[in-house]
Amino acid sequence: MSYISTEDQDLWHALQQIGNLFLYSTTHSGFYWAFWPYDEEEGGPVHPARLVPWLSAQKLGWPCFCTVDGKAPFCTFVKKPDECRMAYCGQIPSKCSFQINLSNAYLYSANLAEFPDMVPGQLKADFKRAAVRQQVVFQTEDLERHERIQSGEEDGNPHDVIGYLVGWIGEYTDVPQEEHKWEPEVYGWPTRDNIPNYVDEGDEDEE
């Protein structure tokens, strides 16, 4: 079962096409733009081939849209035959529509950042202390719209105005993240075969 509404998933997929990294934070309970990690030692952004070890070293993972025993599972990282790196639903086979083309996000993300609070081998207490310092920032036009909506000067939902979550690049986990080989029958969009009550538009009875 998905803990994120269908409307929010639609929003996520629409914004994911822009190219920047767009994720859901369980710590901060919402969708946010995230900065692609910058590696000072490499002198550039973390390459998709190194992203999984990088996250694992920091004890971080990315939640997908599912709930398992009341907790959001972390996504599954996959390497396709053409070397493209992807992220899918954390359940195998996929049960939700979480899907990120990491190779595209790496190439087209316009925003990079270092994460000095996310240190290798950090403890959960370290992560929680860092979370207190994490802040949501908006681009100028988004901030002005957000304030107009909150003040009632403009119709809309402030939830739909997306900010950047500064200092956040994943949720804490003791489980090392791994990269899996591509299996088309296993990873990808949910289908009638692996999601309960799946309905395709083409399945609707014609009158």
* pLDDT tens digits along 149-161: 777 777 766 566 6
Query: Could you report the per-residue pLDDT of 53-71, keeping only the tens digit for each?
Result: 999 999 999 998 886 666 7
Residues 6+ away with beta carbon under 8 Å from 12: 4, 22, 24, 31
In this structure, which amino acid lies at residue 29?
Answer: S
pLDDT, mean of residues 112-124: 83
More confident call, 96 vs 193 = 96
The mean pLDDT of 105-118, rounded to a whole number, is: 79
pLDDT-derived band at 6 (thresholds 50, 70, 90) equals: low
Other beta carbons less than 10 A from residue 131's beta carbon: 16
The pLDDT, as a whole number, for residue 192 is 38
Answer whether residue 203 is part of any domain: no
**CA–CA dist 61, 20 (Å, integer):** 18
Q: Tell me the residue range of the domain where 181 lies.
A: 6-197
Does some domain include residue 193?
Answer: yes
Specify the length of the chain in residues: 207
Measured in degrees and rounded to the nearest 5, phi and psi for residue 136 equal -95, 125
For the chain, what is the domain count?
1
Strand, coil or helix: 185: coil
The mean pLDDT of the chain is 76
Q: Which residue has the higher pLDDT, 164 or 3?
A: 164
Please indicate, yes or no, if residue 206 is contained in any of the structural domains. no
Asked whether residue 207 is domain-assigned, the answer is: no
Residue 184 pLDDT > 60, yes or no? yes
- Name the percent of the chain lying above pLDDT 90: 17
Give the pair of three-digit tokens for residue 60: 């971080």
**Per-residue CA distances from 116 to 58, 127, 134, 175 (Å):** 11, 11, 12, 21
Q: Name the token pair of 187.
A: 């990873």
Confidence of residue 34 (pLDDT cuts 50, 70, 90): confident
Residue 152 lies in a domain: yes
Report yes or no on 202 lying in a domain: no
First-residue to last-residue Cα distance in the chain: 31
Out of 32-36, 55-59, 65-69, 191-195, which region has the weakest mean confidence (pLDDT)? Answer: 191-195
Say which residue, 40 or 150, is predicted with more confidence: 40
Burial 53-82 (b: 16+ CB within 10 A, else e): ebbbbbbbbbbbbbbeeeebbbbbbbbeee
205 occurs within a structural domain: no
Burial class from Cβ neighbours inside 10 Å (0-12, 13-18, 19+) for residue 172 reads buried
Residue 204 lies in a domain: no
